Amino acid sequence: MTQPHPLAPVRILLLPGWLGSSPGHWQRRWEHLYGDEPVEQADWHTPRRDDWIARLEDVILSRPGPVALVGHSLGCHLAAAWAASSMQTPRVTCALLVAPPDLSQANLPPALLPWQRPLPIRALPFTTTVVASADDPYCSPLAAQHLAERWGASCVNLGAHGHLNTDSGLGDWPQGRALLQTTLQRGRRNTDPSSV
């Protein structure tokens, strides 16, 4: 498959987590502010991994040009699971993965237990930044760092902001947008043959 030109416009795909993103969530705000596209799932309450992966694959196949993935919570694991099985990864310029939950937690909700099925441990084949919080109830900073290392990603800890969701009071979250822009720039450099 031909890689998209690094300077082509990049479509931002938003990957919400379990139960979706509420109206005040920064992902929904980005959708309205910037025209980013949420990948809507048929079932937000019972997140079947294979179904979610298939949906993301369908969306990417139906959209022309390069894309960037912006995942929150379980949406981060969706990006990694999709990348482990898709032939479309050259289409992805970069990923910003925000507040990935630690799926090895003993108190994981039953609906998420199928996501514990082992996946290949490999670096993601595109530039990735993991964004973590110091007091995320679903993932310790150490677990977030381990996930970043597993995915071959850089890791940014923003301090105490909970799960970096609606309850965190981030509003339009300009700091997150700046992190996305930085990750996009790095991704474009990494896919530009003239920069080698």
**5 assigned to some structural domain:** no
The pLDDT confidence band at residue 122, using thresholds 50, 70 and 90, is confident
Structural domain includes residue 110 = yes
Is the residue at 65 inside a domain?
yes
Tell me the whole-structure pTM to 2 decimals. Answer: 0.93
pLDDT digits (tens, 9 = 90+) for 102-115: 999 888 899 999 99
Is 61 a member of any domain? yes
CA 148 to chain CA mean position, Å:
12
Contact 12, 30 (CB under 8 A): yes
Residue 90 lies in a domain: yes
Q: Look up the domain containing 76 and give its range.
A: 11-195
Residue 75: inside a domain: yes
The residue with greater pLDDT, 194 or 144, is 144
The pLDDT of residue 193:
45
User: Is 79 part of any domain?
Assistant: yes
CATH number at 123 reads 3.40.50.1820
Please state the domain count of the chain.
1
Instruction: Name the residue with higher pLDDT: 64 or 194.
Output: 64
Q: What pLDDT is stored for residue 189 in this prediction? A: 84
pLDDT for 7 equals: 55
Quick one: pLDDT at residue 160?
97
Alpha carbon of 26 to those of 38, 113, 116: distances in Å? 12, 26, 27
Residue 6 counted as domain residue: no
118, pLDDT greater than 80:
no
